[in-house]
Amino acid sequence: MIRLENLTKKFTPTDPPAVDDLSLEIKEGETCVLVGPSGCGKTTTMKMINRLIEPTSGKIYINGEDSSKMDPIKLRLGIGYVIQEIGLFPHMNIAENIATVPRELKWPKEKIWKRVDELLETVGLEPEHFRNRKPKDLSGGQRQRIGVARSMAADPPIMLMDEPFGALDPITRAHLQNEFLRIQKRIKKTIIFVTHDIDEAIKMGDKIAIMRKGKLVQYDSPEDMLSTPANEFVVNLVGGNYSIKRLHLIRVDEIIDRSPFTASPEGTISETKALLDKSKLGLVVITDEKKKVIGLVIPAYLKKEGEYNADIMEETGATVGLGSTLNDALSVMLSSGQGYVIVVDEKERIEGVVTLNGIMGVLQDDD
C-alpha cells in the first residue's frame, strides 16, 4: 500500500540527513507506528509521504504508483493528515474546520454537513453542542478530537497521524486511544502514526518502526519488538520488564469474566447476599433496566442498614471500555484501590469484569 524506498532528506548540505536511506513497507489496513526520540525524522517522513516536503533522493510508492509523478494536491486530498500542532483554523467554527477537505472536493452541502455530524459523533462530541463553536472555546483534548475528525472527513484510505494524542493527560489519552482502536477496527485505514511514547506505539501499532537519527533501527510487530529487540538502543527505548509491557498488548476482552452476577437497585439485599455467597468474583454489579452500570455491592456493604440494593450499593468509577488494554485496567485498579474493574460498552452497559487475579494470571503465563 505504502512503500518507502531508500528515502533520504537533507535540509542542508552540511548537516546529517534528517531522514537517511529509509525503506519501509506498510500493508493495506495496517497501522505502522514511527517511534523514536525528538528530531529523529518522524515528521519529515510524514511530510514526504504527502509531499509537503520533497525527498532529496529515494522513492515513495502508493498502491504501486510513484508518488512523485502524482499531482500533489490530488495526492493530499486522498491522505488524512493530523498534524502535530493540531492546526485548527481559529476563525472557522468546528463544522467548517472538519469540512475543509470535503469542501475542497466540492461535495454537495447536505452531504458535507451530514458527514460533519457523523464525524463529531464518531469522536464522541455532541454535534448540536460543538458544530458552531470556535476552536478557542474547546479544551485541548476536544481540539485534538476535532483534528482527528477533520483528517477522516473525506474518508481517505490513508491517514498520517503525527502525535495525535500528544497534548493530553494520561487518562484522556488512554480513552482516545481506545476509541480510535475501536474505530480503526471498523474503518481499516492504512495508518502511519507517530509517537515518541513506546507504550503508545505498542498499544496502537500492528507494526512498529523504530527510528534513530533518520535511520530505521528495527521494523517489527510489537510482540517481536519486545521479545527480540535488535540492539541496545531498542532495549533502552522499550525498557525492561517484558511481562509488564505485554499488558499494553492484551485487551480486557481476552480475560474478561462475562457473567458476573447482576441485580437491580430494587432487588433485595438478602437476594444479593445469596448471590455474593455463590460469586467467585466477590461482587454483584447493580444495573438499571438497560444494563447500564449504576453501582456495585461487595460483602463489606452488607453490614449497612437497609432492605434494597439501592440502600447499600456504592457507585463505582472503576470502569474501562471494551478494547482497553490490561494496562489501562490495571491503572484504574491502582487509582480506585480495588482489585477489579467493570468493563462497559460505549453506552456504559455492562460487558463483564476483569480482576487483578486475572491480570496476574497473564503475567505468570509468561514465565
In the complex, what is the shortest distance from the CB of residue 38 to Mg ion, in angstroms, rounded to a whole number? 7
Question: How many residues of this chain interact with ligand ADP, rule: CB under 6 A?
Answer: 9
Residue among 43, 144, 184, 195 that touches Mg ion (CB under 5 A): 43
- What are the grid coordinates assigned to 263, written together? 441485580
How many whole angstroms from its chain centre is CA 83? 16
The alpha carbons of the chain give a radius of gyration, in whole angstroms, of 24
For the chain, how long is the longest CA-to-CA vector?
80
In the complex, what is the shortest distance from the CB of residue 60 to ligand ADP, in angstroms, rounded to a whole number? 15
Q: How many residues does the chain have?
A: 367
Binding span for Mg ion by CB under 5 A among 40-48, 113-121, 302-310, 344-352: 40-48
In the complex, what is the shortest distance from the CB of residue 183 to Mg ion, in angstroms, rounded to a whole number? 23
Distance CA 9, CA 173 (A): 32
In the complex, what is the shortest distance from the CB of residue 304 to ligand ADP, in angstroms, rounded to a whole number? 55
89 binds, among ligand ADP, Mg ion, none (CB under 5 to 8 A by kind): none
User: What pairs with residue 208 in β-bridges?
Assistant: 33, 220
313 binds ligand ADP (CB under 6 A): no
Distance CA 100, CA 135 (A): 14
11 binds ligand ADP (CB under 6 A): yes
Site string for ligand ADP, 32-71 (x = CB under 6 A): ------xxxxxxx---------------------------
Distance CA 10, CA 266 (A): 70
User: CB-hemisphere CA count at 13 Å for 302?
Assistant: 16
Q: Which is nearer to ligand ADP, 40 or 148 (CB)?
A: 40
Q: Which is nearer to ligand ADP, 195 or 309 (CB)?
A: 195
Closest to 221 in 3D by CA, of 229, 232, 213, 233: 229
Residue among 18, 83, 95, 168 that touches ligand ADP (CB under 6 A): 18
DSSP state of 57: E
116 binds ligand ADP (CB under 6 A): no
Residues in the site for ligand ADP, rule: CB under 6 A? 11, 18, 38-44
